[in-house]
Amino acid sequence: MSEIILSAKDIQKSFHDPVDVKILSDITFEINKGEFVSVIGKSGCGKSTLLYILSTMDTEYQGDLFINGQLMRNKKESELAIVRNEYIGFVFQFHYLLNEFNVLENVMLPGLKLNKYSKEEVEHRAMEKLKMLGIANEAFKKASQLSGGQKQRVSIARSLINDPLIIMGDEPTGNLDNKNSLIVFDIFKELAEVYHQTLLIVTHDQSFAANTTRIIEMADGRIIRQ
């Protein structure tokens, strides 16, 4: 019996802008430790919306979300921030690095916020992650000086800094060319196979999804296959 890391029970979500539109219905699934899950579906079917709920950033939904066995409902904003910091690594489509900081500092920030290791240790760990992703040479460059593929690798390094339970990605290769998409995909695969990292990646890239261990397919706000 494998360990359940994330569990969604009957999640519903509507927007009220200007009329009520139901975006997500009856979303129920679990993710076990070590799984490499992809979420696919047509554009506008609610994948991003679901991911924002699962990542605790969006709190306006019905149903229950458990992360690491803890119910997320009724948690305060500051407590959810701690959950995101400690348990979740996030990779966005548009890398979202902080331009005021260099690459190494960008990777270190969530680690410093967690405050579990000393600054030196966090720096050492950040350097390890950058090495693992083959961008250690860029460590002291400003984030804005990197190419798109390099930026995305930096944000993967950042998502890894606190050894999260799960890494979530919202079309992390959506903005990259084929070559860089392949590199990023290989990194995710290596993370899953070598380091048994749990991953939940939203994508519309069929070939990407085909290579993951499990596919959740959505249509019109519902899960139609998992």
Partner 1 sequence: MSNLLIKIAKELLLARWKQTLVAAIGVTFSISMFVTLLSFMNGLNDLLDGLILNRTAHVRIYNEVKPSKKQVINLSNQYKDSYNFINSVKSSSSRQSIYNTVAIFETLNKDPRILGYAPKINAQVFFTYGTLAITGSINGIEVAAESKLFSFKDYVTAGKAIDLKNVPNSIILGKGLAEKLMANIGDVVQINTTDGNLMPLKVVGVFQSGLKDLDLVQSYTSVATAQKLMGKSNNYLTDIQVKLKDINQAPKIAKEYALLFDCDAEDIQTANSQFETGSTVRTIISYAVGVVLLIVAGFGIFNILNMLIYEKMDTIAILKATGFSGMDVKKIFIYIALSIGIFGGLFGIIFGFGFSVIIDNIPFNTPSLPTIKTFPINYKSTYYIIGIIFSMVTTYMAGFFPARKASKIDPVTIIRGK
Ligand X SMILES: Nc1ncnc2c1ncn2[C@@H]1O[C@H](COP(=O)(O)OP(=O)(O)O)[C@@H](O)[C@H]1O
Location of structure tokens 């927007």? 15
* Binder of partner 1 out of 29, 36, 61, 92 (CB under 8 A): 92
Q: Which stretch binds ligand X (CB under 6 A): 40-48, 112-120, 123-131, 192-200?
A: 40-48
Residues 153 and 139: their CA atoms lie apart, in Å, by 12
Task: List phi, psi (to 5°) of 170.
Answer: -105, 100
Task: Tell me how far CA of residue 196 lies from CA of 130, 165, 167, 201, in angstroms.
Answer: 18, 10, 11, 15
Q: Binding mask 31-70 vs partner 1 (x if CB under 8 A, - otherwise)?
A: -----------------x---x--x-xx------------
Q: Which stretch binds ligand X (CB under 6 A): 28-36, 44-52, 87-95, 181-189?
A: 44-52
By a kind-dependent CB cut-off of 5 to 8 A, residue 117 interacts, out of ligand X, Mg ion, partner 1, none, with none
Nearer to Mg ion, 2 or 43 (CB): 43
Report the nearest approach of ligand X to the CB of residue 42 (Å).
Answer: 7
Residues 61 and 128: their CA atoms lie apart, in Å, by 38
Residues 95 and 150: their CA atoms lie apart, in Å, by 9
Task: Tell me how far CA of residue 201 lies from CA of 33, 54, 174, in angstroms.
Answer: 15, 12, 11
Report the nearest approach of ligand X to the CB of residue 38 (Å).
Answer: 13
48 counts as binding ligand X under rule CB under 6 A: yes
Residues 5 and 170: their CA atoms lie apart, in Å, by 19
Half-sphere exposure of 26 (CA within 13 A, CB side): 7
* Binder of partner 1 out of 7, 14, 25, 93 (CB under 8 A): 93
Nearer to partner 1, 109 or 182 (CB): 109
Q: Are strands 214-219 and 36-41 parallel, antiparallel or unpaired?
A: parallel
Radius of gyration of the chain (CA): 17
By a kind-dependent CB cut-off of 5 to 8 A, residue 216 interacts, out of Mg ion, partner 1, ligand X, none, with none
**Interaction site with partner 1 (CB under 8 A):** 48, 52, 55, 57-58, 77-78, 81-82, 84-86, 90, 92-94, 96-101, 109-110, 112-115, 158, 170
